[in-house]
Structure 1
Amino acid sequence: MIAALVDTQYQDLILDIQEYLGWLQNHALPLWTHKGLDDQGAAYERLLANGEADLNCDRRVRVQARQMFVFAAAQKNHWINNGMQLVSGLDSYVHNHAKTHNSAIFAHILDKDNQVINQSHDLYDVAFFLLAYAWRYHVFNDLKALDYANKLLQQIDTDLKGQAGGWQEGSYSHQYRRQNPHMHLFEAFLTLYSVTKDAKWLAKAGEIFSLFESTFFDNKQQVLLEFFNQDWSYTDDLKGQIIEPGHMFEWVWLLRQYSLLTGTPVDNYCHVLYHKGLNYGLDKSCNLIFDQVGLNGTTLKQTKRCWPMTEWLKAALTQATYAKQSDTHEYAKDAQVALSSLTRHFLVATCSGSYIDQYGEGNQVISDLAPSSTLYHLTMAGLEAQRFIKGKSDVF
């Protein structure tokens, strides 16, 4: 996709993207940097419908890492001007309250009074701290964050490396292994390579790409599977039937990033994941994405959350950029539908800058609480949308 093509053919989409970026900068980020942080600078788990923090729920430590990413990315794109201060507060909080036994991995969950209630080391958490460290290094030249990333990699390779490739879910007992934490590790490794050019990060991303090809992507069904046995074999229970269309879209975007960095052909994977995700996952009555479907395309959950919409938008935009030129227009049309539906259904919270989390079977709101963690998805979508309208083809 060259800039001239974007400028001349997609004016309506560009206007919608600009409006979305304005919402991020002028409404979402002011709300979440004001109401979403406590007096220590730590992120609350979620906001209530009135825009006030929920003071009575536990705090997942990964949310602190996600907000580190958000504020660093926002600083990089001039959406805020105090990103370093905000990231510093989050970093101080996790070191003061979530540190465990001199480990590079933080505790999993704190209670509302900032006391550790789950000391487990969790791979999903690790992935988001690695992503946060990458962006801190990228934006602020934070050498301490890069050191954290190196130590974190060393520890998961020592403590959590799993059989038959990949890593274990965490330090706790688990019946299944999942693609989801590995998908986010893939994202973090690609980002770390992009900002450091240290080949070890790309090698780690390559390990996960190999898992994607051999295990996560079911060549027979042409879908992304979620749950596996300990040896990565397919599980024949209900868990093995679950497909999340939002994750299929997420992989489309990630595979395009991997291809940009390595030259690896990913067109076929991206085409199949994208179109199967839409064919199985799209509720055409409202243009929202079902949370879960089955291997045969039946809907397992009639609910529809906010975050899969951001992943559909990212996937459509990256496909419009890198797929066959003859398909560009259709992907751009999909991106406009995804963004319009995201805006119309989810960015309509009572409090400006907040969002609806989930709709139910009858397309009624069933959760008007706004998880802080969703801001990561909304920000990532903003970054990809901004790249699209600028006609850029680099990872950042």
Structure 2
Amino acid sequence: MLLSLDRVCIRYAATASGSGERAAVDGVSFGLAHGQIGVLIGPSGCGKTSLLRAIAGLEPLADGRIALGEEVLGDADQRLHLPPEARRIGMVFQDYALFPHLSVAQNVAFGIQNLPRAQREERVADLLELVGLSGAARRAPHQLSGGQQQRIALARALAPAPRLLLLDEPFSSLDVDLRERLAQELRAILKKTGTTALFVTHDQLEAFALGDVIGVMNRGRLDQWDDAYHLYHRPATRFVADFIGHGVFTPARIVAGENGAGPRVRTPLGDFRDLEECPVPSAYAHGECEVLLRADDIIHDDASPVKACIERKAFRGSEFLYTLRLASGEQVLAHVPSHHDHQLGEWIGIRAEVEHVVTFARELPTPQPV
């Protein structure tokens, strides 16, 4: 592993007076291999930016250890904290942080002033070509678009050949279409240069477009560190299942199979079989559980005996996202091709096609105050 985090904790003062502490990051461990792109995703306040800042050396560790290759960057037990300038880590910020009085080329060259002039100019030219801005070397940053300015910031961060590149929501101020395109371009650039990178975002599409491995953070903890496929189809926690993609949790029961067959999950939409990784019935009290149903698990089928009422619908171009209510009261979601334009209140036939059965303990209703 190039980057290794072991039980990292970051704490801040809980009050303005400094009395008490709260954990912004609590016991996070993961690793990134050479040339790998990692992404940290989670809701606002989950600790992902604090973790990025700790890796950069901008936040001290309250506990744990961070290493880059064979070099320890920070170790709370040994009271070791390598300053940011000694870590050889590049960083790209949300606001680009470009120097307005310098040209594009001068911005890119800012961190490599120690190189001989000819070598410096060659490095700048190579990077501007890499990010598609060869013709903009003499222009001022304000003369370029937001997407172009972000590419300048990326080229400047890559110029000193950092051991690791950190990116803190660099596309957050850009429109959705541009963000998706730049995410794909950024991945191609990082792969071409063999750069190891860690990216922070709250946008799932960005995370999926960029990451070889993605970490879902929740209240300072890392719930799962995995590839996009397993985050979606094999979520490790209920939070990950709820946070990634569109889905609902439906009451179900795991029952033993008949005549030596494996267990089944009994749901309002029928029994689900072929449960390769599903718990045995005794995993939950009386087998009672909840099953995760993704919107793509529910198929619109007029011939199905199971009917559902359309409560809400959201047009998404090629498809609708329908919110449906079964006669038994359970709610499910379904992606339906947009030429199936049914009306609110209409009952349609649906069936479940669930290839990855994921169950969780049934949540008890929160007691209401008397």
Normalised TM-score (structure 2): 0.23
Considering fraction of residues, name the structure with more strand. 2
Considering fraction of residues, name the structure with more helix. 1
Higher radius of gyration, 1 or 2? 2
